């Protein structure tokens, strides 16, 4: 890889999400010479995305690195092919067009996404265990492995961790990671250039195929058809398939029933939003990884206030680190409060007690006024307890304040509700699912 491009990617790591980096920028190949930097995209789809979304940032970083602006050229192709063309063999005929490059199977896993850097908690324990088993026994443990759950909860991370571990055990293992849009893009390109045989061959020659966010296949019939055949071919020859989806696939509209049924052949595991302790532990681990000095108090402050997902937590940490670096200040809780005031306010605003009451009432199909009434029938009492426990978990209000908001109840009633619901979440799967779903709705 061009040294300049490697340094540019390192810089961009701090500015773009890991996901954007490994989806769009890591698959690029680069060559730099006196005329500037030449970037080769594997297909026109990637080229368009890079040009439209990232080019200005790439140019800015290059200017920083070189101390002057630099021409960046983008085209579909490969640096290896271009280099070969640039040095024609004596007597060889010039080649008119750059051929489409082979997909580089082993270069699109993010090396930072490993099991070691993944913090385990109740919410992701099963997913991690399943991904590890698949990595240790590809094609045989669970096939396919499907990780599903809300955005920014670590599905992509686990998927890459499994791929990285497979390659650690067997460096020759061909692992191909793709976002579902890239699968669609490659297929459209193959259809356009009438190279479907080549497309099929590529996707079927891997040891493990990792496809992220398959909910994007919904409504794309040709893609689903092709994916279905790819799936069958891989499955039959015991090649591993790992997929992620933003919800349980059976709930994705416009996904073909036969595909849904295939997805059910292996293991589907939910990745839930992490609890407070796991959020704080993730933050401390991320800070350590990035070499940012963050105290437990700061980690707890952020974990308490940002509950939506890990990506948001990480974003807050990046902002803090950048500001602290800029001002040359340590990251104290005051500094964090001050720097992230707007962000924390947005997160705080989203979850209010009236908001919780309304969403819980809708979820259990009860009337809001009944939820707040003194009636004790079970069909109302349980949703009411859940709403109280959610208010304690998701807002800063005290027990007496919450009691007051629920029709003037005593704070001991709220405390009892919190304890009951916590216990039920541990023993009753249905209860746990309702709880997680409500948290997702309220904080997503």
Ligand X SMILES: Nc1ncnc2c1ncn2[C@@H]1O[C@H](COP(=O)(O)OP(=O)(O)OP(=O)(O)O)[C@@H](O)[C@H]1O
Where along the sequence are the contacts to ligand X (CB under 6 A)?
Answer: 18-19, 117-119, 124, 151-157, 213, 244, 246, 282, 310-311, 314
- 156 is annotated as contributing to ligand binding: yes
Of 161 and 386, the one with the shorter C-beta distance to ligand X is 161
Of 157 and 440, the one with the shorter C-beta distance to ligand X is 157
Report the distance separating Cα 16 and Cα 53, nearest Å: 11
Cβ neighbours of residue 421 closer than 8 Å, sequence gap 6 or more: 385, 386, 389, 431, 435
Of 38, 18, 53, the closest CA to residue 177 belongs to 18
Q: Which residue is nearest to ligand X (CB)?
A: 154
Nearest distance in Å: CB 278, ligand X: 7
Of 207 and 213, the one with the shorter C-beta distance to ligand X is 213
| Burial status of residue 402 (CB atoms within 10 A of its CB: 0-12, 13-18, 19 or more) | buried
Nearest distance in Å: CB 102, ligand X: 26
Of 282 and 380, the one with the shorter C-beta distance to ligand X is 282
In this structure, are residues 321 and 290 in contact, taking their beta carbons and an 8 Å threshold? yes
First to last CA, the chain: 39
- 152 is annotated as contributing to ligand binding: yes
> Which residues, listed in sequence order, are joined to residue 76 by a DSSP beta bridge?
41
- 154 is annotated as contributing to ligand binding: yes
- 155 is annotated as contributing to ligand binding: yes
Of 204 and 311, the one with the shorter C-beta distance to ligand X is 311
Nearest distance in Å: CB 202, ligand X: 23
Cα R_g (the chain), whole angstroms: 25
Nearest distance in Å: CB 124, ligand X: 5
Of 38 and 278, the one with the shorter C-beta distance to ligand X is 278
Nearest distance in Å: CB 352, ligand X: 26
110: alpha, beta or left, given left = phi > 0 and alpha = psi -120 to 50? beta
Nearest distance in Å: CB 310, ligand X: 3
200: alpha, beta or left, given left = phi > 0 and alpha = psi -120 to 50? alpha
SS3 251: helix
> Residues annotated as binding site?
152, 154-156
> Residues annotated as binding site for ATP?
152, 154-156
């Amino acid at each position: 890889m061009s040294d300049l491009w490697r340094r540019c990617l390192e810089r961009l790591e701090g500015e773009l999400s890991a996901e954007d980096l490994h989806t769009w920028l890591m698959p690029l190949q680069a060559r730099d010479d006196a005329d500037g930097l030449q970037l080769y995209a594997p297909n026109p789809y990637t080229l368009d995305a890079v040009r439209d979304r990232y080019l200005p940032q790439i140019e800015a970083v290059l200017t920083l690195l070189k101390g002057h602006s630099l021409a960046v050229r983008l085209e579909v192709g490969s640096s290896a092919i271009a280099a070969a063309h640039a040095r024609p063999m004596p007597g060889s005929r010039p080649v008119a067009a750059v051929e489409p490059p082979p997909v580089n199977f082993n270069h699109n896993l993010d090396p930072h996404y490993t099991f070691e850097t993944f913090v385990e908690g109740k919410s992701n324990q099963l997913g991690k265990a399943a991904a590890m088993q698949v990595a240790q026994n590809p094609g045989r443990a669970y096939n396919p492995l499907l990780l599903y759950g809300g955005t920014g909860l670590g599905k992509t991370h686990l998927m890459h961790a499994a791929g990285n571990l497979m390659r650690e055990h067997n460096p020759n293992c061909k692992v191909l990671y793709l976002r579902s849009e890239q699968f669609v893009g490659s297929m459209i390109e193959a259809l356009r250039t009438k190279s479907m045989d080549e497309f099929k061959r590529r996707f079927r020659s891997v040891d493990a195929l990792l496809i992220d966010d398959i909910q994007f296949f919904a409504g794309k019939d040709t893609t689903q058809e092709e994916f279905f055949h790819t799936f069958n071919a891989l499955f039959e020859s015991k090649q591993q398939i790992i997929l992620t989806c933003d919800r349980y696939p059976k709930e994705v509209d416009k996904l073909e029933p036969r595909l849904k049924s295939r997805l059910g052949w292996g293991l589907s595991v939910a990745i839930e939003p992490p609890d407070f302790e796991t959020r704080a532990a993730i933050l401390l681990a991320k800070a350590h990884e990035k070499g940012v000095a963050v105290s437990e108090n700061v980690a707890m402050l952020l974990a308490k206030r940002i509950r939506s997902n890990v990506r948001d937590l990480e974003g807050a940490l990046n902002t803090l680190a950048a500001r602290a670096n800029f001002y040359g200040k340590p990251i104290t809780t005051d500094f964090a409060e001050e720097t992230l005031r707007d962000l924390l306010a947005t997160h705080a605003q989203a979850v209010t007690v009236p908001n919780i009451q309304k969403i819980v009432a809708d979820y259990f199909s009860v009337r809001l006024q009944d939820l707040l009434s003194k009636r004790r029938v079970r069909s109302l009492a349980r949703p009411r307890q859940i709403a109280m426990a959610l208010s304690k978990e998701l807002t800063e209000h005290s027990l007496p304040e919450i009691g007051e908001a629920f029709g003037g109840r005593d704070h001991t009633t709220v405390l009892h509700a919190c304890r009951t619901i916590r216990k039920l979440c541990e023993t009753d799967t249905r209860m746990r699912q309702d709880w997680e779903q409500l948290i997702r709705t309220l904080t997503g």
